[in-house]
Amino acid sequence: MSGPLQGITVLDLSRVLAGPWAGQQLADLGARVIKVEHPTRGDDTRGWGPPWLDGDQGAERQAAYYLCANRGKQSLAVDISSEGGQALVKELAKGADILLENFKVGGLAKYGLDYPRLRALNPRLIGCSITGFGQDGPYAHRAGYDFMIQAMGGLMSLTGEPDGMPMKTGVAITDVMTGLYATVGVLAALHERERTGKGRHIDVALLDVQVATLANQALNALTSGSSPQRHGNAHPNIVPYQAFACADGHLVLTVGNDAQFARLATLLGHPEWAEDPAYATNAARVGNREVLVAMIQSRLLGRERDAWLDELEMRGIPAGPINTLTEVFDDPQVRHRGLQRTLDQGAQAVPQVASPLRFDGEALTSGVAPPRLGQDSDAILAEMGLSTDDIARLRKEGVIR
């Protein structure tokens, strides 16, 4: 199945996670993504291990971190600080549809590769700049990293136990969300270009994304005038909606309406709870959270986790186990949906997680493994019209790898 972005070319000058994540989504959707990397260092995440996928037959070892966000791309290893490297990128930009970059504000301008200058060469080029704080404002000059942005953007203040230290999430979720927002912006600009024939510049900032994705918690603050507090594994607006201990482990209950609560009360041997004005509605349950949660917890401790999960499933009460990642990939539903994939990289098998997007029942996940550093340099340059001698000269000069 060909992807909906077949025929679109992306020039990806981004590194680490947010930009490469966007590039990987576009590659999964069928775009050709040319990843431009430094000839010796490559993407920073190539060295962010362990764990590593050890190289076969003396090949470079690859960090799992790098492998998570670079499927479906070609790697062109070129030194953009050199005049020769800049000339190559400009030539590529003439035929590209999208430029992805996450340099600090003004970082590409010193190489003559900033969006205004590249757009002058190709008015149809869509540019997407991903930074920590955006293209303007008092923090625009600062570098931004996911952990720091989770702190500054309020997410850490909401995460963790009430009497414990504020916590970050276990995944760099701000980077991932920024990559997704960048993808949305690029797709909208592509659609608009069909009408106008002109490209756009998209400014995506990690801090903006973090604040925008505070969702209900942002409105809790703006509506009440008070900062929400940490609730650990509980929910600020819904009860019971949290983790509970059982006789041999933990489960999560996510009771989202009064009918589900009534079925839960019956299962726990207290159908009268659903009729009690103190617990009959969600608002009442939130107001009487401590008493109700303690009563539910007392009942759940009396049986094993899986026995409770079976009973909850039979009654249509949303609940689930707290799985480790090993258990996640062994889960029957995850296996059925084919979320674990393996891609061939020569003689080596590279594990991947499939795209969650399905078109006509088929997951659009690129079958091309993340590239080794510079593995496509010769092919890309030959396609641009460079001779074998030209490529050899550039390699000797250190412009490419």
Catalytic residues: 175
Contact 268, 301 (CB under 8 A): no
Strands (E), 120-254: 126-131, 201-205, 241-245, 250-254
How many angstroms separate the CA atoms of 366 and 395, rounded? 29
Using alpha carbons, list the distances in angstroms from residue 322 to 113, 293, 331, 346. Answer: 47, 19, 12, 37
Query: Is residue 53 helix, strand or coil?
Result: strand
Could you count the other beta carbons within 10 Å of the beta carbon of residue 193? 17
Q: Which residues contact 141 (CB under 8 A, 6 or more apart)?
A: 104, 105
How many angstroms separate the CA atoms of 189 and 281, rounded? 45
Indicate the residue type of 107: G
Q: Residue written as tokens 């303007």?
A: 136
The DSSP call for residue 36 is E
Strands (E), 121-223: 126-131, 201-205
Q: Residue written as tokens 């990690």?
A: 206
The sign one gets for the Cα dihedral 182, 184, 186, 188 is negative
Q: Which residues contact 5 (CB under 8 A, 6 or more apart)?
A: 26, 29, 30, 31
How many angstroms separate the CA atoms of 100 and 34, rounded? 10
Contact 300, 242 (CB under 8 A): no
How many angstroms separate the CA atoms of 183 and 12, rounded? 12
Instruction: Give the number of residues written for the chain.
Output: 401
How many angstroms separate the CA atoms of 303 and 322, rounded? 16
The sign one gets for the Cα dihedral 32, 38, 39, 42 is negative
Task: Give the orientation angle of helix 305-314 with respect to helix 258-267, to 10 degrees.
Answer: 130
The DSSP call for residue 329 is H
